[in-house]
Amino acid sequence: MAISNKFLQTFRHLTRATGSGSLKTLVPRVTRPIVSAPMNGWSGPSLVAAVANHGGMPIYPIGYYTDPAKILQELKNTATLIHDVDPPTSPNNTDFLPYAVGFITFWLERQGPELLLAILRGEGDTSSSHKRPPAAYWFSFGDYRPYLALVREHGRPGSKVIVQVSTVQEAVEAQNDKVDVIVVQGTEAGGHGAQKVSPLMTLLPEVVHALHENKTSSQTLPAVLAAGGISTAAQFKAVESMGASGVVIGTGFMPTDESPGPQRAKDRLLKTLDGGVNTVRTRIFDDLREFDWPEGYDGRVLRNLVTEREAKYEQAHGPVFNKGAASFKLLKEDHSGEKADWVKATAEQDYDLLPLWSGTGVGLLKKQMSAAAFMDLLLDEEKKQ
Ligand SMILES: Cc1cc2nc3c(=O)[nH]c(=O)nc-3n(C[C@H](O)[C@H](O)[C@H](O)COP(=O)(O)O)c2cc1C
């Protein structure tokens, strides 16, 4: 992997001993410019460790947390699964754990900064003497600036900040704010994103162009990663040729062995073809989950009974669906659904009614495999072995 790659350079400080070999032999910890997205319920200690252990940069999903102690415990569990992290006393200790934590920024704003501060202090590490914080902090969906300032002020020197954007203007602002990694999310992406957003095919090259134009002569460009609908090596190469120095993948990691998602949901994803037809962007599940997402965002999911009923309802009654309790009506064909039906669907993992977040690239996912095998596939490495 050429070290000219901006993303790999960004994480070059994450070096470590090879473990079994000579302590003098240092290798870059992050060798593959693949980021696994922060996916609530679909990523966790096993997937994060699998991606880190295979040279990628996983993002641990902080998500809609309510219990900071539980998150810190999960981070400790994650740390124990990551191979070859040098003992704190080792001269090769890197001071960082090789993963990032992913915050949903508007949720962080509601909860207050305590959890972020605890993670910055390294409280998600198992070691009592030399607590290592994560290498990077990811912020999406909201104003990241107060938290960028917190990371710069309280983070260990070398801590990186990753921000996900969906417009050219947001990307330029992030560059001006000296964000280390900018993730460009196109409309193809699974899960949440901006309602008004271009396809990655046009958004990515326009962002790259704008960042070059905006750069002063003394500045280096931030690393730019592409997100949305990427499932294959050909797509990886395509975004690389448009200026991305790596990819962020959500949907592609969902049906991997290490993802904590339910097997029946993984099977459903793998059976889905024609991702542009069989996924849809909607806010209906945010209403059903009562998460009160800010205006301007929705999420891409597999079509199911709820999205079909929502579409029919909108055809009959106009584009805006009644929020709140009214959304529960869609859980039954005759619109007699109630909150209890949602609770039941959740308990039964009924994906005819629950959201199965998915990008348009779902149609290209053909079989379940390990996260490492999927990463090899993306980099065409399984052919080289
Ligand atoms: C199940 C799922 C959960 C997600 N959760 C988050 C999240 O909590 N925060 C976030 O910034 N992005 C989230 N995303 C979006 C990803 O960051 C990323 O933009 C997207 O997965 C890329 O598109 P792809 O799914 O087509 O690979 C999620 C995506 C999925 C599929």
Residues 103 and 220 in one domain: yes
Cα(75) to ligand 1 centroid in Å equals 19
Which of 357, 365, 374 has most ligand 1 atoms within 8 Å of CB, for mutation? 357
Which of 35, 36, 39, 166 has most ligand 1 atoms within 8 Å of CB, for mutation? 39
The verdict on the CB of residue 359 being under 6 Å from ligand 1 is: yes
Residues 176 and 223 in one domain: yes
The verdict on the CB of residue 164 being under 6 Å from ligand 1 is: yes
60, β-bridge pairs: 101
Cα(95) to ligand 1 centroid in Å equals 28
User: Can you give the pTM of this predicted structure?
Assistant: 0.95
Residues 326 and 372 in one domain: no
Give the pLDDT band (50/70/90) at residue 144: very high
Q: Let me know: does 283 contact 301? Beta carbons within 8 Å.
A: no
Residues 111 and 219 in one domain: yes
Section 269-278 average pLDDT? 97
pLDDT at residue 119 is higher than 90: yes
Cα 44 to Cα 77: distance, rounded to the nearest angstrom: 10
Residues 133 and 186 in one domain: yes
The pLDDT value given to residue 132: 87
The verdict on the CB of residue 47 being under 6 Å from ligand 1 is: no
Indicate the residue type of 25.
T
The sign of the CA dihedral 108, 111, 112, 117 is negative
Q: Whose CA is nearest to atom 3 of ligand 1?
A: 39
pLDDT at residue 109 is higher than 50: yes
Cα 109 to Cα 120: distance, rounded to the nearest angstrom: 16
Give the pLDDT band (50/70/90) at residue 2: very low
Give the pLDDT band (50/70/90) at residue 131: confident
Q: What is the pLDDT of residues 24-77, one digit of tens each?
A: 445 568 899 999 999 999 999 999 999 999 999 999 999 999 999 999 999 999
Residues 378 and 280 in one domain: no
Q: How many domains would you assign to the chain?
A: 2
Residues 112 and 22 in one domain: yes
Token pair 């962080």 is found at: 108
Residues 185 and 326 in one domain: no
The pLDDT value given to residue 86: 59
Q: What is the pLDDT of residues 327-374, one digit of tens each?
A: 899 999 998 999 999 999 999 999 999 999 999 999 999 999 999 999
Domain that includes residue 29, residue range:
6-259+367-384
The pLDDT value given to residue 93: 57
Average pLDDT, the chain: 91
The verdict on the CB of residue 229 being under 6 Å from ligand 1 is: yes
The pLDDT value given to residue 316: 83
Cα(1) to ligand 1 centroid in Å equals 26
Chain mean position to CA 128: 29
